Amino acid sequence: MAIATISPAEALRRLQAGAVLVDVRESHERATGFATGALGIARVELEADPGSAIPELGSEVLLICQSGGRSMKAAQALEAAGYTNLASVEGGTTRWLAEGLPVTRPDIDADFYDRYSRHLRLPEVGEAGQRKLEAARVAMVGAGGLGSPAAYYLAAAGIGTIVLADDDVVDRSNLQRQILHTDARIGMAKVESARAALSALNPRLTIEGFAERITADNVERLIAGADVVIDGADNFPVRYLLNDACVKLGKPLVYGAVHRFEGQVSVYDAGRHRGQAPCYRCLFPEPPPPEAAPNCVEAGVLGVLPGVIGLLQATEAIKLILGIGEPLRGRLLNFDALAMRFRETRLRPDQDCVVCAPGREFPGYIDYARFCSGT
């Protein structure tokens, strides 16, 4: 038997006569306004358990969505479940509004629903996931080549708090790749320049800036409350320090590095997965000598390369916070910009690692700057 389609006006008449009207749109869609008197139950939830909302199979049930497509599919699913008195509202909420029928507009945070509307449409994110992002705290060391794109996209994505540490000031040579900064802010502390750029993009964001060099004395203060830590410093002393601190405190570390035309990304999560996931020192217990690892100043770097790697770091951070997808845990992703090729290397935990071996007590921090310089 074909399911009837009815006009919004007819739906209102039947609603007032005792029918049940169900708005099957997602919660973020209903937040902008819905037919007064309608029950708000997302289609997937209604189809999974219709009896909890409509216990009687013979109840008169009217379905409405945005334009009529989803409501008809929901009606068909209810018919298959045994409901016998169904109708779909033709033209949906769009037509209901156009005809001036009564609408309920909740007292909502309109900026939230407008700003993150494209995330809210993703079932893997949705409103619950977006609230997770807004409640999240990401600690980032470095507001330079890697930190710039990572911070920009984390801010745009709705991360609630970014803790940013960098003791440097903006220099003209930075602007070729460090897109957080501008020519007008040359000489300004990078954390303050970053604060200006990120706040302009998303004023909902909280930025905690630390214009100081990260050391063993302050690293735990920086990352203690973080859900995810991002290494955007791209130097060996910070890399080893963050690795050890994240193992000790049980924080996932999103690693990134760039050199000339090549970059790397991984997630080191040994602090939460001892014996199952590696840390950075499982691979490199000790750093190479300084002459074997020149920095960007000495070797140069293609300006767009940190953008690619930083965006991948931001992607991994968002996935970790939402608990979706497959993180780069135990995998090292290598990118060759000249060949435009990605290559993945599997990483295994070192059961004798000096930092993350199961059951091993934390050995304490060392003087990483001295350790890495060989002095």
Residues noted as catalytic: 296
From 3, 155, 194, 164, select the one nearest 185 (Cα to Cα).
194
| Amino acid at position 116, single letter | Y
CA dihedral 196, 201, 202, 205 (to 10 degrees): -40
Residue 308: CB partners within 8 Å, gap ≥ 6? 263, 335, 337
Contact 282/350 with Cβ under 8 angstroms? Answer: yes
Do residues 151 and 162 touch, judged by C-beta distance below 8 A?
Answer: yes
